[in-house]
Structure 1
Amino acid sequence: MAVLKKQLEDMRGIRYDIASLKGSISNLKTPTARQFVSPRQMMTNGKTPTKRSTPNPIGVGPSCISRKKPVRGNDPRKSAARTKARRRILQGKQISEDMMAALQMEDLKQLCSMHNVRYRGMPQARVALRKIPGLIVSDTEDLPNRSATGEEVQGANMEDAQSVESESEEEDDDSSEEAEYFEGPEASKDVQPSAH
């Protein structure tokens, strides 16, 4: 019991010390804020000097050439890709992955309404549009190329198509040469080489 009384008195003493510290802290005054002094030389009347301006003759502009500052977020390459993509969308053609990335929300809304796609935001709209077959070309080499006739070849390179055709023609030529080589008195006259 004696121990409890001693601890109770210590607690009261601590409370008293805390209250006195709070009072002394509140009595301390905060340092007064200094007034701002301009780095310019002060005039005699206490005012800072103003910049003197010379009167300009009429029609004369500033002496320095003003340049347009580039606007942040307006990348000319990205805006060109967006313009191309919008044009291709209106024409009903395929777009590339880069063009898809350059599209803004308004363009994605238009595409989604054209293809009856529901979405809850830009990422979801992009994912849903990628799932539509024939809308996005995955590789830039697969973009339509113009052939000699002006028609578009969808989904393959012209060089690949021409190389396949030339290989098949070479095989046909080899078979016709073999048929001509074996023709002789023994070969029948009814067998003719294929013309393709």
Structure 2
Amino acid sequence: MSNKNQVILCGALLCLISIWAYFYQFQSPQFMSRFDFHSEQLWQQPWRLVTAHFLHLSTLHWIGNVLAFAGLTVIFARHFTVRTYLNGLLILTAGSAVFLWLAGYQHRFVGLSAVVHGLLLMGVLLEFRYCKKLAQRRLLYLAIGVLLLKFSAEYLGWWTSPLTTGQDNELWQLHGAGILSGILAWWLHNRHLAKLAQS
């Protein structure tokens, strides 16, 4: 099986885990409170750095996030091996949670949207390495522009997500942390490629 197909399969398994977690929370009322982002318990229970991202509040919430995550995985799978894909996701999940903690974010959160924003930016930045045509580069600039425009609209309160319930005024912080972690993941991924080229 090619690296690309292995990455897509890995992404599909993560989507299934997220879907399972959504339905399992109805059988275990304490499930979400044990695995969501909670800044006061983050370092005593560090699994929350990762697990919070794979939980969701509603059916629409998980459908939107899982479809976006799966779509981005398929689009950008060619840039990864399973190892670098999982490394990237670890940086996106833990990185965005740490950025939120450093910013003093006090609310609890769940959902893949921060990871989706980070994965989109990481993937677009990786695409620049292979785009030689001006039209392709313009499309990538457009994708970055739309992402930053959406983030700005959330920051200014002009955009609220139909996928979540409550705390829409905090989305810019979640998505901003995802965007920052996407830049970090892209930079570390490029360093890894540079080391491979040197060896």
TM-score range, shorter chain: under 0.3
Higher relative contact order, chain-length normalized (CA < 8 Å, sep 6+):
2
Which has a greater percent of helix?
2
TM-score, normalised by the number of residues in structure 2: 0.21
Which has a greater percent of strand?
1
TM-score, normalised by the number of residues in structure 1: 0.21
